[in-house]
Amino acid sequence: MAYDLLIKNGLIVDGSGMPAFRGDVGIKDGKIVDIGKLGGAAACTIDAEGRAVAPGFIDNHCHYDAQVTWDPLCTFSPEHGATTVIFGNCSLSLAPVRKGSEERLAEFLSYVEAIPMEVLRTVDFDWETTGQYMDRLDKCLGINVGNLIGHTAVRHYVMGDECQKPGASDNQIKAMQDVVRDGMKAGALGLSVSREKGHYDPQGVHIPALWADEKEIFALGDVLREMSTGTIQAGGGQYVELKDGMIRRLAEATGRTVVYNSLSQTMRKPDEWKTHMARVEETAALGIRAYPMCSPNRVTQDFTMKNCQVFRGLPAWHPILLSSDEEKMRAYADPEIRAKLHEEAVVNKPETTVGFSKTWWNYMWVNEPVLEKNKWMQFKSIGQIAARTYNSTGAMATSPSSSANGCARSR
Return the CATH number at 179. 3.20.20.140
Same domain, 342 and 243: no
Quick one: which of 101, 96, 105, 62 has its CA closest to 80?
62
| Same domain, yes or no: 327 and 287 | no
Number of domains, the chain:
3
Q: Do residue 257 and residue 360 come from a single domain? A: no
Last residue within a domain, chosen from 271, 292, 313: 292
DSSP 56: P
Residue 62's nearest CA partner among 96, 88, 91 is: 88
Same domain, yes or no: 145 and 282: yes
User: Which pLDDT does position 298 carry in this prediction?
Assistant: 80
Under 8 Å between Cβ of 202 and 322: yes
At 409 the pLDDT is 40
Burial of 90 (0-12, 13-18, 19+ CB in 10 A): buried
- What's the pLDDT at 322? 83
Same-domain status, 87 and 34: no
Secondary structure of residue 231 in the 3-state scheme: strand
Residue 211 shares a structural domain with residue 347: no
pLDDT of residue 348: 67
Same domain, 227 and 161: yes
Burial class of residue 275 in the structure, from the number of CB atoms within 10 Å of its CB (0-12 exposed, 13-18 middle, 19+ buried): exposed
Check: CB of residue 345 under 8 Å from CB of residue 314: yes
Extract the residue ranges of the chain whose pLDDT is less than 50.
Answer: 396-411
- How many Cα atoms sit within 13 Å of 229 on the Cβ side? 12
383 and 256 fall within a common domain: no
| Residues facing residue 333 across a β-bridge | none
CA-closest candidate to residue 247, choices 256, 229, 260:
260
Of 270, 292, 314, the domain-final residue: 292
Parent domain of 43:
3-53
End residue of a domain, out of 292, 316, 349:
292
Per-residue pLDDT at 392? 62
In angstroms, the CA 335 to CA 325 distance is: 18
CATH number of the domain where residue 34 is located: 2.30.40.10
In this structure, the answer to whether residues 306 and 212 fall within a common structural domain is no
Give the pairing of strands 82-87 and 57-59.
parallel
* Within-domain flag for 297: no
Looking at the domain assignment, is residue 372 inside a domain? yes
Q: What is the pTM of this model?
A: 0.83
CB 171 within 8 A of CB 114: no
Do 61 and 41 share a structural domain? no
- Does 189 lie in the same domain as 332? no
The radius of gyration of the chain from alpha carbons, rounded to an integer in Å, stands at 24
CA distance 166 to 86: 29
Please check whether residues 176 and 46 belong to one and the same domain.
no
How far is Cα 219 from Cα 342, in angstroms, rounded to an integer? 43
Q: What is the pLDDT of residue 312?
A: 76
What distance in Å separates the CA atoms of residue 224 and residue 148, rounded to the nearest whole number?
12
Using one digit for the tens of pLDDT, what is the confidence trace for 95-119? 999 999 999 999 999 989 989 999 9
